[in-house]
Amino acid sequence: MMTSAVAMPWSLAAETILRALAHSVGAHPNVRAALAAVLHETGRLGEARLEAFEALRARPDDAAMAENLVSIDLSMGQPDQALPMIRAQRLGRPLDQRWIAYEATAARLLRDPLYTQLYDYERLVRVYELEPPPGWQSMAEFNAALTEVLRKRHLFRTHPLDQSLRNGSQTARSLTAERDPVIQALLGAFAAPIADYVAALGTDPRHPISARNSGKAAIKGCWSVELRRDGYHISHVHPEGWISSAYYVAVPADVGDVSAKVGWIKFGESGFDHLAERNPACRAVQPVPGRLVLFPSYMWHGTVPFRSPTPRTTIAFDVVPT
């Protein structure tokens, strides 16, 4: 949710169009919800909440309408207003990772111990250094081959509009569909860390991640992201995942700055700009070629922008229980 001067002309134009549409077709809930999103983006939270509330009142069973209002309430620092809607959605959509993230955000604002249970960074963010697959002498040799393979698959010059990355590109289809031996070797190398992570989770039925643990898991989707200068990921979650990941293929030199942490993956900072000061990141992991990071799909994560002209190339995947 950008609030910079660059975003304002687009936001003002969108607001003008939506208000004209509302004038011509009436107070349609879809129009009101879209207007709420634009007002939220520009920081006019009170107006945004009114539009989102009326949209949800017209469509009380619409999860998207509920999410719109919840995101505004959390941005306003009003978790008490958001919690009844969050808990209703958690009951109706227990596997949707967004609602776990929203509940964790509300708990953090309320200083509820539930937050530390859901966002137990020490236990749930795990780092693995991969061994080179058979046929390669080192991870440096393997990642060099992988970089060449991925370069042919990064066909777009700009980021997709519906994803978290900014100033970069994403591969168009899941890498699990690729037959290239280098990609297949990497997917095979992920198996042991995934098994270790799943085993460490346990099966506590009171926790949303361990309650789903069947002891077996499979990669559901896998893609590569190449961030370029000034590139980053906004804080986000993976709604359809269970365990999510970041594997580092190639990184710019400035990620070595342990003070600035540019290019690092960060955890805990919610995806609501207006909460950034109250909900800062609580954990950050340095990207190192050959390193794999695993964490819950409901955990807010993003990256710190970097300035180097050298691309930051990663592979990410979601894992689900089988």
Q: Give the pLDDT confidence of 196-215 residue by residue, as tens digits.
A: 999 999 999 999 999 999 99
pLDDT-above-70 percentage for the chain: 93
pLDDT-above-90 percentage for the chain: 76
What is the C-alpha separation between 91 and 85, in angstroms, rounded? Answer: 10
Whether the CA torsion 188, 189, 192, 196 is positive or negative: it is negative
Token pair of 37 as six digits: 């999103």
Q: Cα 34 vs. chain centroid, distance in angstroms?
A: 22
Write the burial class of residue 151 (CB in 10 Å: 0-12 exposed, 13-18 middle, 19+ buried).
Answer: middle
Q: Give the pLDDT confidence of 276-308 residue by residue, as tens digits.
A: 677 889 999 999 999 999 999 999 999 999 989
pLDDT at site 33: 94
- In the chain, the domains with their CATH numbers are 8-114 (1.25.40.10), 121-321 (2.60.120.620)
- 257: CB partners within 8 A, 6+ apart: none
Going by pLDDT thresholds of 50, 70 and 90, the confidence category of residue 6 is: very low
Instruction: Please provide the average confidence, as pLDDT, over all residues in the chain.
Output: 91
Please, are residues 121 and 282 in contact by the beta-carbon 8 Å criterion?
yes
What is the C-alpha separation between 63 and 51, in angstroms, rounded? Answer: 16
Going by pLDDT thresholds of 50, 70 and 90, the confidence category of residue 19 is: confident
Going by pLDDT thresholds of 50, 70 and 90, the confidence category of residue 41 is: confident
Write the burial class of residue 206 (CB in 10 Å: 0-12 exposed, 13-18 middle, 19+ buried).
Answer: exposed
pLDDT at site 276: 67
Strand ranges inside 199-311, DSSP E? 217-233, 243-250, 265-267, 283-285, 291-296, 301-303
pLDDT at site 25: 83
Please, are residues 271 and 290 in contact by the beta-carbon 8 Å criterion?
no
In this prediction the pTM is 0.90
Range from 110-114, 203-207, 232-236, 262-266 carrying the lowest mean pLDDT: 232-236
Higher pLDDT, 290 or 273: 290
Of 298, 319, 97, give the one whose Cα is nearest residue 218.
319
Going by pLDDT thresholds of 50, 70 and 90, the confidence category of residue 161 is: very low
Residue 219 above 90 pLDDT?
yes
pLDDT winner (highest mean) among 159-168, 283-292, 304-313: 283-292
What is the C-alpha separation between 188 and 292, in angstroms, rounded? Answer: 13
Residue 162 above 70 pLDDT?
no
